[in-house]
Amino acid sequence: MSQTSAGPAAAGTPAVADVSPQVVQSAIDEAAHFNLFSIPDPECPPEAITGPAGQIIGMCVCECLHRFQITVQAPSAREPLIARNIVGERIGRFTHRWLLAPDNWPAAPNCDPPPTPLDITRSQRFVMLDSVCRMGHGDDGFRGFGTGLTIPTGASGGSLRITAIGTILEGSGKFREHQQGTYLYCGALTPQNGFMGNVMMRLMDPQETLQIDGDLPSIDARGNPEPDVTYVVFRGQAVPADPVSPRIGSNGQPNGLTVVQGLRLLELDACAGGAGGVRSVARVGQTIGKITASVTFDPSAPGGSNLDPIPFLADDQFVFQASDGKPVAGGMHANSIEGRVFKVLVLGQQGIRFGGTGLILSGTGPFEGISGLMTDNSVVSFTPHVSASVYLLRIDDPQGRFRSAAGRNRGREAALHTETDL
pLDDT per position as a tens digit, 330-385: 899 999 999 999 999 898 888 899 999 999 999 998 999 999 999 999 999 988 88
- The answer on pLDDT for 295 being more than 60 is yes
- Report pLDDT digits (tens) over 245-277: 988 888 888 888 999 999 999 999 999 988 889
The mean pLDDT value of the chain amounts to: 89
Q: Kindly state whether residue 369 falls inside one of the protein's structural domains.
A: yes
Separation between Cα atoms, residue 335 and residue 348, nearest integer Å:
31
Separation between Cα atoms, residue 323 and residue 73, nearest integer Å:
10
Domain count, the chain: 1
CA atoms within 13 A on the CB side of 166: 30
pLDDT category of residue 155 using cuts at 50, 70 and 90 = low
- Report pLDDT digits (tens) over 208-251: 999 999 899 999 999 889 999 999 999 999 999 998 898 888 88
Q: Kindly state whether residue 1 falls inside one of the protein's structural domains.
A: no
- The answer on pLDDT for 14 being more than 70 is no
Q: Kindly state whether residue 2 falls inside one of the protein's structural domains.
A: no
92 sits in which H/E element: strand 82-101
Asked whether the CA dihedral 188, 193, 194, 196 is positive or negative, the reply is: negative
Mean pLDDT of 139-154: 94
408 sits in which H/E element: helix 405-414
Separation between Cα atoms, residue 161 and residue 38, nearest integer Å:
14
Domain span holding position 352: 16-421
Confidence (pLDDT) at 415: 38
- The answer on pLDDT for 143 being more than 90 is yes
Confidence (pLDDT) at 157: 64
What's CA 113's distance to the chain center, in Å?
25
pLDDT category of residue 152 using cuts at 50, 70 and 90 = very high
Q: Which residue has the higher pLDDT, 285 or 15?
A: 285
Q: Kindly state whether residue 3 falls inside one of the protein's structural domains.
A: no
Q: Are strands 229-237 and 310-321 parallel, antiparallel or unpaired?
A: unpaired
Q: Kindly state whether residue 51 falls inside one of the protein's structural domains.
A: yes
Against a cut of 0.85, is the pTM above it?
Answer: yes
- The answer on pLDDT for 89 being more than 70 is yes
- Report pLDDT digits (tens) over 16-54: 457 889 999 999 999 999 999 999 999 988 899 999 999
